[in-house]
A and B are shown apart, each in its own frame.
Chain A
């Protein structure tokens, strides 16, 4: 119960307290610049916050994200060769920063832990005055930081997050995801699997026991069952598991002839290595070759599994071997600067930064609500995935999805995956109220302050 009766004495007291607190209040609660939104840039610079895993098991992926962000900042400020700014269909960016303000950045370490990620995002917003937060390598982190940004009145441009929930039940008006999701992986993979392995298959799922694992299992199950596959079993594996032998050994006894590994990162490396060790791929079950599927591939992670990825199907958001102009431009600038090709995590982070900057330029304001309006239902091209739509209903990008396969004869340590199909966007598009995405509410944009 709150007492809303206003008295003169009460008002003076409240005013005095608020006035005193104003000196110590975090920046984002103070409406700097009186522009009516959190962290409105006042000088001739603007600060972006890059929140990536700099320690913990995804540190290498985080390092690649950071490289991409540094490259994006360089391009936005007019340095380097301009990368994808030259191929981007929108021509609002001029290489003179964002709205004429030089782009600066601060970084935080998510540690791939939700609480640490929220703490580092909060610090970048409150202490450093970051006007936008981006990055991350996990859906748990993305959902947590997205909610924080919504409360603080900051735009969140998600990094690598693949769970349906990020733009499903946990979607927020201030959050935007360029990366694809579990549903899209299932929808893109199923026809390729049917074409290569037939429609009469028995699948056994091993699923990482957390949010992303569940949505990926659900997506792949429903897509493969819809084309005739039967799911004989689905077993959840602890996220901390390192040796999967006790989960893999019973697979053959179940009568399954396909193993689907709904695992990412270290889980994927270990479960795939164990499955190959057990010789599953050399077996003949139900008169068919036993097959393994990895729904979400990451080249950085695939490297850890070595030769075990050969011939195994999966999906990915982007790959450096794509030959469109945008991808070529990005690989050229990234490769020249760092000496190796970028990962899909680097790509999505670079693109997100440019998309944010472009939206601000088109909106003519850093106000989160103006940015949201500029990004909603924005159609663009030249960023490496063909024609793309940032759907207004859920803030999810809709674009072509890549189905890839572990390469049989890699030429280099980067050459691990080959693209077997570019699944057209129409095939991976779903209604905003699709059951796999139900339960959430985008709400309205929050400018904070």
Chain B
């Protein structure tokens, strides 16, 4: 029982990341009809917003400490962050420690900006083109973005820790009456899950309860009629692209303490996120979220040692296996609508 609870918890944070990326993908597909293979790259760029902000916060000037030597025996050059000069060491350290949560504020405008540039600069030229063209161009874009990040930040993962207050793990086992240490879960992953829930809730509320959201939903259902009513639906869809980019970016920002970001992290999530979208049903926002969590949890279960003993290698194929079964039994995915991607 404790092992099952543990793997459900484990699946939640992975599912949160899948759900957030898949949500953005579905938003773009539902509004603009574009299959965006660069969406994983947006997740990665979000993560590097956190890296960039921590680098900005730790921008330093060098002082020479004659009492210490460097590896060549010369006097040691010590980097002193400018933030110490402004706020003092204690406050400066606290700000640096909270770099990841602070990056949320930094990432939102950056990601919306990148989303706008991507949509206006490149993707809008592909609206009328076949899905295969869209996939090729966005996949190419993803590789370009990834190489740009590698050029500036290198190929190695960059550690971006959570604030000290969230280090360590919470003992669910002890709380639920199991033996201590049987069900432990890192605090930051709980934060990630809660954060994902808030973002998902906010996106749904935005679409459901605002006039803007109502117009967008109407546009998703029948773009032409909404256009005929004199509403500039294109402008709203561009804004939705920016929002989808921001959702992916924020998922990336908050993911950095879970795994040190590297230039390739977007690709690692991209394929799985597409499976999530297809399983959830192309164009269905609740489907994307549901499938994200479902597949995240299933993947966790498949990684259990007992499961692997019975079915070796199942952890590597479980998601695709489930996708095949679901598509065979429900060709439109779990919550897919009729007529989407069906000519």
Residues of chain A whose beta carbon lies under 8 Å from any beta carbon of chain B = 55-60, 233, 235-236, 238, 240, 242-243, 245-247, 249-250, 252-254, 266, 269-270, 273-274, 277-279, 282-283, 285, 300-301, 303-308, 320-321, 331-332, 335-336, 341, 411-412, 414-415
Q: Is B198 an interface residue (CB 8 A)?
A: no
Instruction: Kindly state whether residue B207 has any CB partner on chain A within 8 Å.
Output: no
Q: Which of B208-216, B239-247, B277-285, B302-310 contacts A (4 or more CB under 8 A)?
A: B302-310
If A245-B10, A304-B156, A306-B159 touch, does A336 touch B68 (CB 8 Å cutoff)? no
* Contact A335 B155, CB 8 Å, known A246-B300, A250-B305: no
Check if B268 is an interface residue, CB within 8 A of chain A: yes
B167 CB contacts on chain A under 8 angstroms: 277, 279
B10 touches which one: A246, A252, A301, A321 (CB < 8 A)? A246
User: Is the CB of B14 closer than 8 A to any CB of chain A?
Assistant: yes
* CB contact under 8 A between A285 and B155, given known A245-B189, A246-B10: no
Pick the residue among B2, B13, B308 that contacts A245 (CB under 8 A).
Answer: B13
CB interface residues, B 261-291, toward A, < 8 Å:
262, 264-265, 268
Partner of B14 from the list A243, A247, A279 (CB cut-off 8 Å) is A243
Count class of interface residues, chain B: 35 or more
Query: Which B residues are in CB contact (< 8 Å) with A240?
Result: 268
Known contacts: A253-B2, A269-B260, A270-B260. The answer to whether A242 contacts B268 by CB under 8 A is: yes
Report which of A282, A304, A341 forms a contact with B260, defined as CB distance below 8 A.
A304
Q: How far apart sit A345 and B257, CA to CA, in the bound complex (Å)? A: 28
- Judge whether A335 and B7 touch: CB under 8 Å: no
B168: CB under 8 A from chain A? yes
- Please list the 9 inter-chain residue pairs (A to B) with the smallest Cβ-Cβ separation, ordered nearest first: A306-B159, A304-B157, A279-B169, A246-B303, A59-B155, A246-B300, A277-B186, A279-B168, A60-B156
Chain A neighbourhood of B227, CB < 8 A: none
| Residues in chain B near residue A308, CB distance under 8 A | 159
Q: Identify the stretch in B69-77, B112-120, B125-133, B328-336 within 8 Å (CB) of chain A at 4 or more residues.
A: B69-77
One of A252, A253, A411 near B68 (C-beta < 8 A): A411
Complex Cα–Cα for A233 and B305 (A) = 9
Task: Tell me what chain B mostly uses at the interface: helix, strand, loop, or mixed.
Answer: mixed
Q: How far is the CA of A301 from the CA of B158 in the complex (A)?
A: 10
- CB-CB < 8 A to B76: which residues of A? 411-412
Determine the chain A residues whose CB is within 8 A of the CB of B257 once the complex forms: 277
Q: For A411, list chain B residues within 8 Å (CB).
A: 68, 76
**Residue B259 at the A interface, CB < 8 A?**
yes
Q: Are A285 and B71 in contact (CB under 8 A)?
A: no
Neighbour of B71 across the interface among A249, A269, A307, A331, CB < 8 A: A331
| Chain B 295-343 interface residues, beta-carbon cutoff 8 Å to A | 299-300, 303-305, 308, 315-316
Q: Is the CB of B258 within 8 A of A243?
A: yes
Nearest B residue to A303, CB-CB = B156
Does B168 contact A270, Cβ atoms closer than 8 Å? no
Given contacts A245-B189, A414-B71, contact A58 B155 (CB under 8 A): yes
Extra inter-chain contacts (6) besides given A250-B6, A301-B156, CB under 8 Å: A57-B155, A57-B262, A57-B264, A249-B184, A250-B304, A278-B186
A403 to chain B minimum Cβ distance, whole angstroms, is 21
> How distant is the Cα of A320 from the Cα of B303 in the complex, in angstroms?
39
Q: In the complex, what distance in Å separates the CA atom of A305 from the CA atom of B156?
A: 10
In the complex, the number of residue pairs spanning A and B with C-beta atoms less than 8 Å apart equals 129
Choose among A57, A274, A320, A321 the residue with the greatest number of B CB atoms under 10 Å from its CB. Answer: A57
- Residue of B3, B7, B14, B72 near A331 (CB, 8 A) is B72
Q: Assess whether B154 is interfacial by the CB under 8 Å rule.
A: yes
Q: A242-B259, A247-B303, A306-B260 are in contact. Are A335 and B71 (CB under 8 A)?
A: yes
Task: Output the residue of A60, A236, A247 with the most chain B CB within 10 A.
Answer: A247
- List residues of chain A with CB within 8 A of the CB of B48: none
Q: Is the beta-carbon distance between A273 and B262 smaller than 8 angstroms?
A: no
Q: How far is the CB of A335 from chain B (nearest CB, A)?
A: 5
Determine if A252 and B184 form an interchain contact, defined as CB atoms under 8 angstroms apart: yes
Q: Which residues of B contact A266 (CB under 8 A)?
A: 157, 262
Given known A59-B150, A414-B71, contact A277–B258 (CB-CB < 8 A):
yes
21 contacts between A and B (CB under 8 A): A56-B155, A59-B155, A238-B315, A238-B316, A245-B14, A245-B189, A246-B11, A247-B303, A250-B6, A252-B182, A253-B181, A253-B182, A266-B157, A269-B260, A270-B260, A274-B258, A283-B181, A303-B156, A331-B71, A331-B72, A411-B68
Q: Shortest beta-carbon distance, B175 to chain A, in Å?
A: 15
Are B260 and A273 interface neighbours, CB within 8 A? yes
* Complex CA distance for A274 and B257, rounded to whole angstroms: 9
Minimum CB–CB distance from B93 to chain A (whole Å) comes to 14
B70 touching A412 by the CB < 8 A rule? yes
Are B169 and A278 interface neighbours, CB within 8 A?
Answer: yes
Contacts of A56 in B (CB 8 A): 155
| Most chain A CB neighbours (cut-off 10 Å) among B71, B189, B299 | B71
Chain B positions within 8 Å of A238 at CB level: 315-316
Which residues in A have their C-beta under 8 angstroms from that of B7?
A: 246, 249
Question: What B residues does A412 contact at CB under 8 A?
Answer: 70-71, 76
Interface membership of B293, Cβ < 8 A: no
Cβ of B188 within 8 Å of any chain A Cβ, yes or no, is: yes
Q: Is A341 a contact partner of B155 (Cβ separation < 8 A)?
A: no
Q: Which residues of B contact A58 (CB under 8 A)?
A: 155
A235 CB to nearest B CB, Å: 5
Residue of A at shortest CB range from B7?
A246
- B161: Cβ under 8 A from any A Cβ: yes
CB atoms of B71 and A320 under 8 A apart: yes
CA A253 to CA B183, docked complex, whole Å: 8
Bound form: Cα–Cα A333–B336 in Å:
64
- Asked if residues B169 and A277 are in contact (CB atoms below 8 Å), the reply is yes
**Contact call B158/A304, Cβ cutoff below 8 A:** yes
Which residues of B sit under 8 angstroms from A247, Cβ to Cβ?
303
1/0 per residue, CB under 8 A from A, across B214-255: the answer is 000000000000000000000000000000000000000000
When chains A and B are docked, how far (Å) is the Cα of A303 from the Cα of B158? 8
Are A60 and B157 also in contact (CB < 8 A) when A273-B260, A331-B72 are? no
A308 to B257, CA, bound (A): 12
What separation, in Å, do the CA atoms of A115 and B2 have in the docked complex?
A: 45
Contacts of A60 in B (CB 8 A): 154-156
Query: With A246-B299, A250-B305 in contact, is A273–B72 under 8 Å at CB?
Result: no
Cβ contacts under 8 Å, A270 to chain B:
157, 259-260
Given A56-B155, A270-B157, the answer on whether A277 and B188 have CB atoms closer than 8 Å is yes
Supposing A57-B264, A250-B304, A250-B305 touch, asked if A304 and B159 sit within 8 A by C-beta, the answer is yes
In the complex, are the beta carbons of A279 and B184 less than 8 A apart? yes
B161 near A306: Cβ-Cβ < 8 Å: yes
A335–B260 CB distance below 8 A: no
Q: In the bound complex, what is the Cα–Cα distance between A370 and B265 (angstroms)?
A: 47
Among residues of B, the one whose C-beta sits closest to the C-beta of A279 is B169
Given contacts A249-B184, A285-B181, A412-B70, contact A274 B259 (CB under 8 A): yes
Q: How far is the CB of A135 from chain B (nearest CB, A)?
A: 16
How does the 8 Å CB contact mask read for B1-27 relative to A, with 1 for contact and 0 for none?
A: 011001101110110000000000000
